[in-house]
Amino acid sequence: MPKKDPVMSSFKAAVSGLVHTFRSQRHMRIHLFVALVTVLGAVLLNLHMREILILLFMITFVLVAEMFNSAIEATVDLVSPGYHPQAKFAKDIAAGAVLITTIMAIIVGSLIVIGDDQWERLKLSLTGQTFGLPFVGRLIAGGFLVFLLVIIGKGLGGHGRIMRGGLVSGHSALGFFLATSVFFLTDSVLAGAITVLLAIIIAQSRWEGRIHSVFELTLGAVVGVALGLVMFVFMPK
């Protein structure tokens, strides 16, 4: 009987893990779809090779975090089949790690899409003496209003905590507010569409974690988009 090659065995096991994660985890399939759309958008936007490499690194970062999250969930389910607060805590931490990597990927992607020229204009707007608030000021004020409306919404709903659950999803509201801001900041419809897609991923992760219902996520998205329109369309420039 021929001896097994340890290198090939390890490679086959790794490929098997990738295939199993893709088949069993809807999150992974969505992340891969978004990754494909992002890379396609980067090519259509004629980004430099360095920027595409940064995007690929962030995409890999998110995918690896999602795989670790799946592995931790499977291990916890195996060790603790029934409900246990510590098991839930471990799953929440793993899901939080995925959320952090996703948000960082959105921030990095947004900065790349904005570009150096637009970034210089933003920095100049900080010292500009114009009627109304500059972009960064609008962004900070809008973020504060998002937080305030989310807190009010959670209070009206009578359930959930500040950072988890409740009538209005804060993650969804903030994600869609930032996506709307980027949409109006850049002249590219494709770039704006990518940021909206990434905001949807943030909302979807909250639904997958059973933290919010579709209705609560939709309310958060409406709050975020409405505030984005108020800050960047209706407010005097």
d(CA 32, CA 59): 9
- Residue 131 has what pLDDT? 40
Q: Distance (Å, rounded) from C-alpha 207 to C-alpha 214?
A: 7
Q: What is the DSSP string of 127-191?
A: S---SS--HHHHHHHHHHHHHHHHHHHHHHHT-S-SSS-SSS-HHHHHHHHHHHHHHHHSS-HHH
Q: 73 an active-site residue? A: no
With 80 as the cut, is the pLDDT of residue 200 above it?
Answer: yes
Q: 136-145 pLDDT, tens per residue?
A: 777 788 888 8
Is residue 60 scored above 80 in pLDDT? yes
Structure confidence at residue 122 (pLDDT): 57
- Contacts of the segment 181-185: beta carbons below 8 A, 24+ positions apart: 181/138, 181/139, 181/142, 181/228, 181/231, 181/232, 182/110, 182/113, 182/114, 183/228, 184/228, 184/232, 184/233, 185/114, 185/118, 185/135, 185/232
CB-based contacts of 141: which residues, under 8 Å, 6+ apart? Answer: 133, 231
- Lowest mean pLDDT, pick from 10-24, 97-111, 123-137, 186-200: 123-137
- pLDDT above 90 covers a percentage of the chain that reads 0
CB atoms within 10 A of CB 139: 20
The predicted pLDDT at position 2 comes to 54
- In the predicted model, what is the mean pLDDT of residues 153-178? 73
Residues 6+ away with beta carbon under 8 Å from 228: 142, 176, 177, 179, 180, 181, 183, 184
User: Alpha carbon of 92 to those of 96, 161, 166: distances in Å?
Assistant: 6, 15, 17
Helix axes 214-229, 170-185, angle to 10 degrees: 30
Kindly report which listed range (9-18, 84-93, 120-129) carries the lowest average pLDDT score: 120-129
Q: Quote the tokens at residue 99.
A: 């959320």
Q: Which has the higher per-residue pLDDT, 85 or 131?
A: 85
Q: How far apart are CA 183 and CA 196, in angstroms?
A: 8
**In degrees, to the nearest 5, what angle opens at C-alpha 91 toward C-alphas 89 and 94?**
110
The residues spanned by each domain of the chain are: 9-234
pLDDT of residue 161: 58
Which one of 51, 66, 120, 208 is the catalytic residue?
66
Average pLDDT over residues 31-58: 80
